[in-house]
Amino acid sequence: MQYIENKQQLIQYFLEGSKKKDSWRIGTEHEKFLFDLKNKNSIPYDGDISILKIFSELIKNNWTPIKEGKNILGLIKDKKNITLEPGLQFELSGDAVKNIHQTCNEINSYLKELKIVCAKLGIGLLGNGFAPIAKLSDVFKSPKKRYEIMRKYMPSVGKNGLDMMHRTCATQVNLDYLDEADYKKKSKLIAAITPVAVSLFSNSPFKEKELNGYLSYRTHIWQNTDKNRSGIPEFFLQEENSFERYVDFALKVPMYFIIKNDEYIDCAGESFNDFISGKLKNYPNKKPTIKDWENHISTIFTELRLKKYLEIRSADSCSSAGICSIPAFWTGLLYDENSLDQALEYVKNWNYKDIYNGYLEVPKKVLILKLKIKNF
């Protein structure tokens, strides 16, 4: 087993994500709320009308269960994964496919299967960025152990962390990069137009049966969750942006946990730098592995997140008919070289302050917002 001894190993991790253009793929992850059709209440993990009942039916359709201890917390089938978010939201992580047509076919096939199962059980599906009816206290919780650690930590770093976990749904697009230079170009554009993307894909105007004063309340919730790991980091827009700069950022993001021998060890608030130095309080004198690094960077919640691909996270969950528009938007901008270069030329004089102020205002004003930046 190889242990992480220095930062260069982490930079190399992202360099290894580089892919030739003919290997570029499109991945889409989308979340849904589930509710009892009779009373519109959230459904529990177990019971007559529950998550486990849905899992049981899908297993009959050749989905394979993913377990943590005795609990089924997800399903896998043909490189597609269903996972449970903290408030029992359903998330499909689709396969990496070659084009938007394949993406749409996958989404439609999955939703058709899920709707048939849910209709049989009296369960409804809802694509919204924020739960429109349920109070936080009404939402049933996933038994996944990592979420127990997050629930304890979240209130100490932001006022809306528990709402983010349990009452939001998003649509995420995953795209590839050619090399570090390509990553820099794509990350700059994604960061610059995040307020525009939030506007286009806003879909969360309700809270507890009333208008909430926002059109993307989900984005507002994220802005008040944990400033150490969310938002739009300024370095995405700077010339010195690089894999090393992202590593430096990630090393400072407070950890939540590590997993050893299938057990979660609470490291909330400590840094990955502490881990490399062997200074974790609950796991002293031990070094991390790449798997530890992958777990850690999965807890970074910026509007753009880097793994061995780009994760773009700025869209609310939406109706089934609208999901395909989100990967289509980003694929068209980022996978066509002329589109990417022209878009970068358009935003080249936009400054971070104006972009971030637009990002803060856009959940309420969306396309009504006039960004105070040149060329807009």
Arithmetic mean of pLDDT, 143-149: 97
**Structure-token pair, residue 209:** 């049966």
- The whole-number pLDDT of residue 366 equals 74
Write down the pLDDT at residue 373.
Answer: 56
Quickly state the pLDDT bin for 375 (edges 50, 70, 90).
Answer: low
- Give the model confidence (pLDDT) of 238-251 as tens digits: 999 999 999 999 99
Higher pLDDT, 233 or 374: 233
Instruction: Share the mean pLDDT of the chain.
Output: 96
Are the CB atoms for 216 and 316 separated by under 8 Å?
A: yes
Q: Is 197 left (phi over 0), alpha (psi -120 to 50) or beta?
A: alpha
Return the closest-CA partner of residue 170 out of 53, 67, 289, 31.
31
Q: Which residues pair with 3 in a beta bridge?
A: 289
Cα-based angle 90, 96, 99 (whole degrees, multiple of 5): 110
Average pLDDT, stretch 11-22? 99
The arithmetic mean of pLDDT across residues 111-115, rounded, is 98
- Percent of the chain surpassing pLDDT 90: 96
- Give the tens place of pLDDT for each residue, 265-296: 999 999 999 999 999 999 999 999 999 999 99
User: How many other C-beta atoms can be found within 10 angstroms of the C-beta atom of residue 353?
Assistant: 11
pLDDT for position 2: 86
pLDDT of the residue at 369: 58
For residue 362, what pLDDT is reported?
94
The pLDDT of residue 270: 97
Q: What is the pTM of this model?
A: 0.96
Q: DSSP labels for 66-129?
A: EEETTEEEEEEETTEEEEE-TT--EEEE---BSSHHHHHHHHHHHHHHHHHHHHHHTEEEE--S
The percentage of residues in the chain with a pLDDT greater than 70, rounded to a whole number, is 97
Whether residue 368 is predicted with pLDDT greater than 80 in this model: the reply is no
Helix axes 7-15, 180-192, angle to 10 degrees: 80
Q: Are 215 and 363 in contact (CB under 8 A)?
A: yes
The candidate with the shortest Cα–Cα distance to 255, out of 282, 233, 232, is 282
Q: Is the confidence at residue 160, as pLDDT, over 90?
A: yes
Query: Alpha-carbon distance 118 to 139, whole Å?
Result: 19
From the centroid of its chain, how far is CA 326? 14
Is residue 372 over pLDDT 60? Answer: no
Tens of pLDDT, residues 319-337: 999 999 999 999 999 999 9
The full set of domain ranges for the chain reads 7-364
Report d(CA 149, CA 264) in Å as an integer. 9
Name the nearest CA neighbour of 203 among 158, 168, 232, 231: 168
Tens of pLDDT, residue by residue over 205-232, are 999 999 999 999 999 999 999 999 999 9
Task: With beta carbons less than 8 A apart as the criterion, state whether 209 and 143 touch.
Answer: no
Paired tokens of 248: 């430096």
Are the C-beta atoms of 2 and 72 separated by less than 8 Å? no
Architecture of the domain whose range is 7-364: 2-Layer Sandwich (3.30)
